[in-house]
Structure 1
Amino acid sequence: MKTVKITYWVSTALVALMMTYSGYSYFTEPAIAQGFRHLGFPGYFRIELAIAKLIGSAVLLLPVAARLKEWAYAGFAFTFISAFVAHTAMGDPTANQLGPVLFLVVLLLSYVTYHKWHSSAPVTSKRQSVLQQ
C-alpha cells in the first residue's frame, strides 16, 4: 500500500507541477501566445486553458470530492490528447508531439494509483451498514 501511495503522490505532483507551470507560462510567455497562433487557436483560448490548468492542478492536489478529481483527470486527458493531435496535424517536431503523450502516461499512472489507494481504504461504518442491508 505504501508503494501505491508514493507512486500516486509522485505522479500526481509531476502532473500538477507541469500543468501549473504550463498555466503560468500561458499568461507570461510571448512565445506561448505565438505557439497558439501557430496552431490556429484564438488568443482567448490560451487564457481559458491557463485558468483551467491552474484550477485542475489545485483539484488534483487538494482533498476535494472524488467527483471533482474525476473531472480534473478527464480534463487533463482531453488536454494532452488534443495537444498531441494539434501538434501532429501542424507537423511540429516529434518532441512537441511526444510530450503530451508522456504526460498522459504519467496522468494515467496517477489516476490508476488514486483508485487503487482509495479502493483499499477502510469502509466507514455508514457504508458498512448500507452494504449489510
Structure 2
Amino acid sequence: MKQKKLIYWATTGLVVAGMLLSVVNYFFNPELKVAYAHIGFPDWFRIELGIAKLCGALALAIPVVRPLIKEWAYFGFFVNFSSAILAHYMVHDPLFNLAAPFIMLVLVIISYISYHSINKHEIK
C-alpha cells in the first residue's frame, strides 16, 4: 500500500506542478498568444484553459475534494492532453512539441489508476 500511495502522490504531484506552471505560463507569457494563433485557437481559449487547469490542479491536489470532482478533473486533463497532442500533430509541429503533452498524459493515466487502486470507493 505504501508503494501505491507513493506512486499516486508522485504522479499527482508532477501533474499538479505541471498544471500550475502551465497556468502561470498561460497568463504571463506573451509568446503563448502567438503559439495559440499558430495552432488556430483564439486567445480567449488560452485564458479559459488556464482557469480550467487551475481548477483541475486544485481538485487533484486537495485530498478532501469529493471523488466525483476528482473524476471530472482527471477526465478534463485526459481530454486536454489528448487534444494538445492532436493539435500539435495536425499543424505539423516537430515531435518535440508533442513530448510534453504526451508525458503529462501518461502521468495523468498513472495517477488515475493509482488513485483508484488506493481509494476503492463508489463515486458519489
SS in 2 for 1:64: coil
1:99 Cα offset (Å): 1.8
* Residue 68 (structure 2) aligns with: 67
1:21 paired to 2:24: no
TM-score (norm 2): 0.94
Percentage of pairs with the same residue:
43
CA RMSD in angstroms, aligned pairs only: 0.9
* Deviating 4+ runs (over 3 angstroms): none
Give me the whole-angstrom Cα distance separating, in 2, the residues matched to 1:58 and 1:99. 20
**Aligned residue pair count:** 120
1:43 Cα offset (Å): 0.7
Give me the whole-angstrom Cα distance separating, in 1, the residues matched to 2:5 and 2:79. 25
Letter in 2 for 1:44: W
Any unmatched runs of 5+ in structure 2?
Answer: none
Any unmatched runs of 5+ in structure 1?
Answer: 122-133
Structure number with bigger Rg: 1
* Residue 100 (structure 1) aligns with: 101
TM-score (norm 1): 0.88
1:102 Cα offset (Å): 1.3
1:98 Cα offset (Å): 2.4
